[in-house]
Amino acid sequence: MKKYLLSLCLSIACSPMLYAQQNNVLPSGTEQEIIHLSKKKWQWMADKKTDSLDLLFHDNAMFVHMGGSMSKKQELDVIKSGGIHYKQAEIQDVSVKMVGKIAILYNRIRLTAVVGGNEVVNPFIVTEVYMPENGKWVLGSLAFTRLMGQ
């Protein structure tokens, strides 16, 4: 009986450590590639590099903002014109989930942007969907979800 209780206590005591180890698994090569591509995308958006973004964004890509959705052309136009200037995306957390050949990246960010001439800082969960096309990854969707109370 003592052995059983000792085993049970050790199992309970060690289970948080096992759980922590499972969550610290390093991303695969594909996941690392998607994370790197997403970081480059944020920098291109900050630098208004619409030529680079044009190559990354799929022609049918959709962008969901707090105020509505935009097509690829609309998103590139608003970046180019300065209607939205993505000054800095402070990435606080990132993960990638593979669904077949589709990569879904989740970012928790603190975004500093200039919208309509006003600088705003908002916490978001950003969902990015990437798919392989002609040997490279393209972005098919980007959606901002504002976090409340932060």
pLDDT tens sequence across 119-146: 999 999 999 999 999 999 999 999 999 9
Number of domains in the chain: 1
Domain with 65, as residue range(s), is 27-146
Q: Is residue 18 part of a domain?
A: no
- CATH at residue 107: 3.10.450.50
Per-residue pLDDT band at 5 (split at 50, 70, 90): very low
Helix segments in the chain, DSSP class H:
2-23, 29-46, 50-56, 72-81
Q: Is residue 4 part of a domain?
A: no
Neighbours of 111 (CB within 10 A): 21
pLDDT value of position 13: 41
Which residue shows structure tokens 């200037």?
Answer: 85
pLDDT in tens, 6-45: 343 334 444 343 333 344 556 689 999 999 999 999 999 9
In terms of Cβ atoms closer than 10 Å to its own Cβ (0-12, 13-18, 19+), residue 105 is buried
Q: Is residue 52 part of a domain?
A: yes
Q: Is residue 15 part of a domain?
A: no
